[in-house]
Amino acid sequence: MNRRTFFMFMSPSLLVMLALMVFPLLTSIWLSTQYMTFRNINTPEFVGLANYLEVFEDRKFWQAFTFTMTFIAIAVPAQISVGFLIAVLLDQVSSRIRGIYIAAFLMPFIVVPVVGTLMVKQLFESGGIVAWAYRALLGSRFIFTEQSVKSLILVHSLWAATPFPLIVFFAGLQTLPDELIEASMIDGATRLRQVRHIMIPHLRSLFVFVGLISIMDAYRVFDSVFVLTEQNPIYKAEVMMLYTFRTAMSVQRLGKANAMSVITVVMILVVLVPFLLRTYKEQTEER
Amino acid sequence: MKRIENRYVLTVIYALLTIYALFSVIPFFWTTIQSFKTPRQANSRVPLFIFEPTADNYTDLWLKTIPDDPLLVAAVLVAIFGLLAFVGMQARRFPFPRGYVYLGILAVGFAVLWSIPGYVRTQTFYDYFLNTVIVTFGTICISISIGCLAGYGLARYSGIAGVIILVTALGFRSLPGMAYILPYWWFGQRSGLYDTHILLIITLVAINQPFTIWMLRSFFMNIPKEIEESAMVDGANRLTAFLSVIIPIMWPGIISTALFTLLLAYSDFLLVRILTQSNWTLTVAISKYAAGEDPGHITLAAAAAVSAAVPIIIVVFIFQSQLVKGLTSGAVKG
């Protein structure tokens, strides 16, 4: 196919992406230099970098930033290690039973995030089954506090996001040649050593891939936090996306909110650029 | 052999897998149970597993008044949609092209869905359901049409421009949606498109376009070049060859991609929440049930959650083989 035909086929899609992804991103940068509330949507006022300075001095922004980073630091390793463990165990089970387990594991992955969060929350509501077990075991009522809501966000992320690494690792283990395992068994390697010296090196590139995607997903987490905190600031469990959302829609400081989202974009580029370079190299080699 | 044969170790493995499987499904199981209880039963100190089920939560959620003969209405609806599904499955037996059969089914299905409020007094929740149908369907149609053209181009063109477009698109897709959605909100306010289906559809198409072209491209790459080349030797130009030879054998890939687009459009929350005032989709509507002071909110929230999950579970169940194909071909390549 020559270049001209290629661009003819590409043009509708390319136009949509230019008009509704590239252009809005530039608009966002422009809006971040404006003072704008719901009252002066049509007549924004240029304020230079004032919005950025305000964001950097905003205590709540740093609070949200710290919580987001803590969330990533705990949730991503937990998802990956649980996912890997379950994938390795699943690999040992006969293939007839696997299907049932996989169907169960994929349920949280397929359901709409907001619905999944509501369902997890149901367990902890008064009269919920986990709230009951909590009272039976610990003797006190389960109440929504800063600590418990934050733990709930983590538990939900483990529930909802682990199926992704699990399935990717499981698919990766299927490509592991049987001879490698057999040879190592003849050499007298234990199961744990096989995991350490054969499986983990075999899955190395998948670990990087899953890690990058999981970090970016954890960074953008919004739906579950929105539902679990009910937008109530007393839980101090706001992540960056939620704080940006509230700044734009409740506090009505659109310029400032755009400044925050530009800051978020710049921070996510740190993870994104290596990922994109890797994809670029792969694709040019495959070509 | 590769597998473990020690019985005790195997027991431990099954135990761990079962615990994790229970962890995955308990929220579904419990929410479904709660949705059939009265608020009083749902709030009981000890969880009830045996109780007299009630459908009140669902009727409260969907209907303003219960029709005089609810069973008849339900039976008629089940009969209509059952018949449509049956015709769909038998489509290849008709003497004319299958596409017309599917179009006819869609037209009848939409007509029935939109005529229901004329016969039964429905709640606003039903309107949100209809909004979801329009937005999801519109997004799939536009996204797949322009995505197929682009995906085909990307699969057949070997220049560096193709790779650059793919990687850039992936980069844009990976940025937080907020960076696009706040400007969309501003465009919407200025152009008067705020709170309309059109704005939701075009923005959802744009946001999911990178994913769509990646996935369709990987399907097109599996189709040998010789197929359209032989058609082009016979005198067809590339576009006709694409439409008349390639698309008919691409249906499995198109259905797979459409399914993922459906899941993405159906579950989008942030974009719809910001770009609408009252024309919500189901996802946004049910988030309103998360909080509440009155004791009835738990069971109502449970019924809302189950109602929103059921359509997706049905779709996934019907198309599960295509879904697996999509997961293994597109996502698990890295």
Q: Considering chain A, what is the average pLDDT of its residues?
A: 90
Probe site for chain A from B199, B332, B333 (most A CB atoms < 10 A): B332
What dihedral angle (degrees, nearest 10) is formed by the CA atoms of B251, B253, B254, B256?
A: 120
Q: What is the pLDDT of residue B134?
A: 95
User: Which one-letter DSSP state was computed for residue A35?
Assistant: E
One domain for residues B89 and B189: no
**B187 and B255 Cβ atoms separated by less than 8 Å:** no
Q: Residue A92: which pLDDT band, with cuts at 50, 70 and 90? A: confident
Nearest CA in chain B to A125: B298
Determine the pLDDT at residue B44.
82
* Mean pLDDT, rounded, of chain B: 88
Contacts of A61 (CB under 8 A, 6+ apart): A55, A240, A243, A260
Confidence of residue B228 (pLDDT cuts 50, 70, 90): confident
Answer whether residue B65 shows pLDDT above 80.
yes
As a whole number of Å, the CA-based R_g of chain A is 23
With CB atoms and an 8 Å threshold, state whether A123 touches B30. yes
* Model confidence at B236: pLDDT above 90: no
Same domain, B99 and B128: no
Q: Answer whether residue B2 shows pLDDT above 60.
A: no
Higher-pLDDT residue of B92, B162:
B162
**Inside any domain, residue B323:** no
Rounded Cα–Cα distance for residues B290 and A117 (Å): 9
Kind plus residue range of the DSSP H or E element containing B74:
helix B70-89
State whether B138 and B278 are in the same domain: yes
Task: List chain B residues with CB under 8 Å of A172.
Answer: 332
The reply to whether B94 and B194 lie within a common domain is no
Q: What is the DSSP letter of A20?
A: I
CA angle in degrees (0–180, nearest 5) for A248-A252-A257: 35
**Do B143 and B273 belong to one domain?**
yes
Q: How confident is residue B332, by pLDDT bands cut at 50, 70 and 90?
A: very low
**Tokens at residue B115, please?**
């005529």
In this complex, which of A89, A115, A241 lies closest to B305 when CB atoms are compared? A115
Distance in Å, alpha carbon of A245 to nearest chain B alpha carbon? 8
Q: How many residues does chain A have?
A: 287
Give me the number of domains chain B comprises.
Answer: 2
DSSP letters spanning A147-214: HHHHHHHHHHHHHHHTHHHHHHHHHHHHTS-HHHHHHHHHTT--HHHHIIIIIHHHTHHHHHHHHHHH
Phi (first) and psi of residue B192, to 5 degrees: 80, 10
The minimum CA-CA distance between A128 and chain B, rounded to whole Å, is 7
B217 and B246 share one domain: yes
pLDDT score of B35: 93
pLDDT at B1: 44
Alpha-carbon gap, residue B186 to A25, rounded angstroms: 12
CA distance B275 to B290: 20
- A182-213 per-position pLDDT tens digit: 888 888 778 888 888 888 888 888 898 899 88
Q: Which residue, of B121, B138, B163, is where some domain finishes?
A: B121
A181 CB neighbours in chain B (<8 A) are: 2
Query: Has residue B249 got a pLDDT over 90?
Result: no
Tokens of B32: 């479904």
As a whole number of angstroms, the distance between CA B155 and CA B216 comes to 9
- Interatomic CA distance for residues A81 and A203, integer angstroms: 13
Residues B158 and B258 in one domain: yes
If asked whether residues B212 and B281 sit together in one domain, one would say: yes
Instruction: Give the CATH number for residue B146.
Output: 1.10.3720.10
Q: Is B3 an interface residue toward A (CB < 8 Å)?
A: yes
> Domain check: are B117 and B131 in the same one?
no
Task: Report the pLDDT value the prediction gives residue B3, as an integer from 0 to 100.
Answer: 67
What was the ipTM of the complex prediction?
0.90
CA gap B221, B152 in Å, rounded: 8
At residue B119, the 3 state secondary structure works out as: helix
Contacts of B324 in chain A (CB under 8 A): none
Q: Which residues of A touch B146 (CB under 8 A)?
A: 12-13, 16
Q: What is the pLDDT of residues A122-165, one digit of tens each?
A: 999 888 899 899 988 988 888 888 899 999 999 999 999 999 99
- Which residue would you say has higher pLDDT here, A208 or B235? A208
**Residue B245 counted as domain residue:** yes
Out of B121, B155, B190, a domain closes at B121
Residue A1: pLDDT band by 50, 70, 90 thresholds? confident
pLDDT greater than 70 at residue A219: yes
Q: Is residue B71 part of a domain?
A: yes
Residues B203 and B232 placed together within one structural domain of the fold? yes
Tell me what percent of the residues of chain B surpass a pLDDT of 90: 51
Give residue B328's pLDDT. 61
* Chain A environment of B4 (Cβ under 8 Å): 92, 191
Q: Which domains does chain A have, with CATH numbers?
A: 52-286 (1.10.3720.10)
Comparing CA positions, the residue from A28, A59, A85 lying closest to residue A200 is: A85
B230 touches chain A (CB under 8 A): no
Given a contact cutoff of 8 angstroms between Cβ atoms, the answer to whether A74 and A58 are in contact is: no
Question: What CA–CA distance (Å, rounded) separates B124 from B64?
Answer: 9
Q: Which DSSP string corresponds to B195-262?
A: T-HHHHHHHHHHHHHHHHHHHHHHHHHTS-THHHHHHHHTT--HHHHIIIIIHHHHHHHHHHHHHHHH
Report CB contact under 8 Å: B167, A1: no
Q: What's the pLDDT band for B329 if we cut at 50, 70, 90?
A: low
Separation of alpha carbons A196 and A199, rounded Å: 6
- Yes or no, beta carbons of A249 and B305 under 8 Å apart: no
Q: CB–CB of A122 and B331 under 8 A?
A: no
C-alpha R_g of chain B: 24
Predicted pLDDT of residue B334: 34
Give the up-direction half-sphere exposure of residue A204: CA atoms within 13 A in the CB hemisphere. 5
- CB-CB contact of B181 with A264 (8 Å): no
CA B131/CA B2 separation, integer angstroms: 52
Per-residue pLDDT, averaged over B35-50, amounts to 86
For the ranges A43-52, B45-54, B114-123, the lowest mean pLDDT is seen at B45-54
Same domain, residue pair B166 and B281: yes
Residues 254-313 of B with CB under 8 A from A: 263, 266-267, 269-270, 274, 283-284, 286-287, 289-291, 298, 301-302, 304-305, 308-309, 312-313
Residue B306 within any structural domain of the chain: no
Mean pLDDT (whole number) for B106-131: 91
pLDDT tens figures, A239-285 = 999 999 999 999 999 999 999 999 999 999 988 998 899 889 988 88
* Mean pLDDT of the B262-273 span: 93
Question: B101 is in which domain, residue-wise?
Answer: 65-121
Conformational region of residue B268, where left means phi above 0, alpha means psi within -120 to 50, and beta covers everything else:
beta
Which residue in B28, B149, B190 is closest to A9 by CB distance? B149
Distance (Å, whole) CA B70 – CA A137 = 45
Residues of A in contact with B149 (CB under 8 A): 9-10, 12-13
- CA distance, residue B188 to nearest chain A CA (Å): 11
* B187 domain residue, yes or no: yes
**What sign does the dihedral B23-B26-B27-B28 (CA atoms) show?**
positive
Between residues A274 and A26, the one the model is more confident about: A26
In a domain, B198, yes or no: yes
Cα angle vertex B170, ends B165, B172, to 5°?
Answer: 95
Asked if residue B9 is part of any domain, the answer here is no
What would the mean pLDDT of B141-159 be, rounded to a whole number?
94
Q: Per the domain annotation, does B296 fall within a domain?
A: no
Q: Mean pLDDT throughout B245-253?
A: 85
Q: Are B238 and B172 contacting, i.e. CB atoms less than 8 angstroms apart?
A: no
Tell me, what amino acid is at A208?
V
Higher pLDDT, A35 or A96: A35
Burial (CB < 10 A; 0-12, 13-18, 19+), residue B177, is buried
Residues B106 and B190 in one domain: no
Residues B167-218 have pLDDT tens digits of 999 999 999 999 999 999 999 999 999 999 999 999 999 999 999 999 999 8
How distant, in Å, are the alpha carbons of A160, A268, B17, B24, B216 from that of A102? 14, 32, 10, 10, 25
Quick one: pLDDT at residue B138? Answer: 96
Q: How many CB atoms within 10 Å of residue A94?
A: 8
